[in-house]
Amino acid sequence: MGCGSSSNQPLATEPRPVPNGEPVLLNVHHRGAGDGASEVPSVPAIVEPVVTVTSPSPQLPSRCRLTVLHFNDVYNIEERPNTEPVGGAARFASAMGKYWDKNPLVFFSGDCLNPSMMSSITKGKQMVPVLNSLKVKAAVYGNHDFDFGVDELEDVTMETKFPWLMSNVIDTLTDKPLADGLEKTVIVWGTKKIGLIGLVEEEWLVTLATVDKDDLKYLDYVEEGRRLAKELKEEGADLVIALTHMRWPNDVRLAEEVEEVDLILGGHDHDYDVRKVNGKYIVKSGTEFRQFTKVEIDFIGPKFEISTMQVDVTSAYREDGEMKKIVEEFTGLMSDKTATTLGRMESELDGRFATVRTQESALGNFLTDVMVAATQADLAILNSGTMRSDSVHGAGDFTIKDLLTILPLIDPLVVLEATGTQIMQALENGVSQYPKTEGRFPQVSGIVFGFDPEGPAGSRVDPNSVKIDGEYLVPDKVYKVCTKAYIARGKDGYDVFKDCKPLTDPDEGPILSTVIQNHFTAVDIVKGLKPCRSGHHQSLINVASVAK
């Protein structure tokens, strides 16, 4: 029987609907200023009527089944043709729809607002009707959900019909969970109370280009997970689920050390996998609307048993009509939005290959200056092959179309630790093919250098010409270098970077094109042209530092 009805009969294969047909949000909690955890009403957009149910007869253990559908890390709402599973939001909705008769709880484990080509134009707003249509009941924030800033994130989440959790990161500017997330929540599903917390790892906080890490207080996910799960159990939760956005080792540690958590539904990793650790399941449900997991929880009195099933969203599923209309609407908007002005340029930006692949350029300076400001690195090195427009962008309005013409690819940034000697090797590689117009030629910020184009490859850079932040390069000193993940993996001849320690996750860093958009937003905030409710925005270029 479904948990929405009371019975002492044997467990049936199909649950009955709960009263009023939907799970109910019972209460939410967030950390108040100096008073510990306090109970507050949920926001109007997610309030649902509380259902009163009758406790089961104590004669025999009551039995019921709860179905949970879980997914994580979705970026592109369009399907990927010719590659199974094709995914796509429209087929995903159809596949999930086969389980609506089981009155499932749908949970999402973060990362949906970026990166994608569509999000670079919409700032992730296409995900609002998608997630609402999928009947999501609760979610945890992912790192890429902050790509466009806290204000943009809060605007988006206010339009969603479910709560977002952030249990272990406190915004010190508000003394509340970051981005107004909830610390914990309880959903009433018939006779059962399901407690939820949302936990993230400290590692990805340093990748948030729009939030200063110094403005955040990080709480260990094991300690907070244990405290909150214990509170939920004391408040009557029959089951506690941790929605997480962490790498596998951290989810495993959570499972091993927090007995009070019964099930971990994770994100951040993109490969589908289910593991049982310390007697409890950890579920990662793939990515890109290509998979989800059906989790069945059979309650037998105070105990429960859990089973999982992977669902691949293949082309065998038809496209859901309602979701297909949403996808088509936003696909159509993309061409209209490219004319949107991001800001104004006082001088032209020369993106011709003959320029950016052979010499210092205003375009290269602009991009790398923003990279340094956004990541607080000592210097930036960008291969000129990143810039794809091969044209001159005139002074005046700089539009989304200009940006996407210059930076059409999704390029995550990474910060590395590199010695002065390693930086010299990187520069030597960058100029080794000159005067060929090779994409490895470096555009830089925070560093100045000169080279002899007639010298032998590998010995062209004059060591006495290299300065970082106005000081001569020290061979054994360690510097923070911002570059693309592509380069950090040793591509374009930058093999030396493969031996450098990454300070940020090469696959989860801020996206270069997003960082440029955020620069223009920060300029408008500083000029007073755009309000900033949260107090957080991306750092701006330090003109004095750049001039050294």
Mean pLDDT, range 366-391, rounded to an integer: 94
Residues 383 and 484 placed together within one structural domain of the fold? yes
Q: Convert the pLDDT of each residue in 149-173 to its tens digit.
A: 999 999 999 999 999 999 999 999 9
In-domain check, residue 11? no
Residues 290 and 356 placed together within one structural domain of the fold? no
The reported pLDDT for the residue numbered 60 is 62
Say which range, 16-20, 190-194, 229-233, 468-472, has the weakest mean pLDDT: 16-20
> 3-class DSSP state for residue 6?
coil
- For residue 512, report the phi and psi dihedrals to the nearest 5 degrees: -55, -50
> 3-class DSSP state for residue 330?
helix
d(CA 323, CA 166): 28
In-domain check, residue 8? no
In-domain check, residue 5? no
**Mean confidence (pLDDT) of the chain:** 87
How many structural domains compose the chain? 2
The reported pLDDT for the residue numbered 409 is 81
Residue scoring higher pLDDT (17 or 467):
467
Residues 235 and 103 placed together within one structural domain of the fold? yes
Residues 330 and 371 placed together within one structural domain of the fold? no
- Tokens 């099930």 identify what position? 263
In-domain check, residue 10? no
Confidence of residue 509 (pLDDT cuts 50, 70, 90): confident
In-domain check, residue 107? yes
> 3-class DSSP state for residue 443?
strand
d(CA 11, CA 1): 5
Residues 541 and 499 placed together within one structural domain of the fold? yes
In-domain check, residue 357? yes
Residues 274 and 348 placed together within one structural domain of the fold? no
The reported pLDDT for the residue numbered 335 is 73
For residue 267, what is the domain's CATH number? Answer: 3.60.21.10
According to DSSP, the β-strands at 341-345 and 396-399 are antiparallel
Percent of the chain with pLDDT over 90: 71
Note down the domain range covering 274: 22-302+314-335
> 3-class DSSP state for residue 26?
strand
Residues 345 and 296 placed together within one structural domain of the fold? no
Residues 322 and 369 placed together within one structural domain of the fold? no
Residues 114 and 159 placed together within one structural domain of the fold? yes
Mean pLDDT, range 516-523, rounded to an integer: 90
Mean pLDDT, range 93-106, rounded to an integer: 98
For residue 389, what is the domain's CATH number? Answer: 3.90.780.10
Q: Convert the pLDDT of each residue in 48-86 to its tens digit.
A: 333 333 444 455 668 999 999 999 999 999 998 888 999
Q: Convert the pLDDT of each residue in 253-295 to its tens digit.
A: 999 999 999 999 999 999 999 999 999 999 999 999 999 999 9
- Tokens 């009155």 identify what position? 103
- For residue 143, report the phi and psi dihedrals to the nearest 5 degrees: -60, -40
In-domain check, residue 37? yes
Confidence of residue 1 (pLDDT cuts 50, 70, 90): low
The alpha carbon of residue 440 and the mean position of all alpha carbons in its chain are separated, in whole angstroms, by 29
To the question of pTM greater than 0.95 for the whole model, the response is: no
Residues 318 and 405 placed together within one structural domain of the fold? no
Nearest to 70, CA basis, from 401, 286, 294? 294
Residues 496 and 393 placed together within one structural domain of the fold? yes
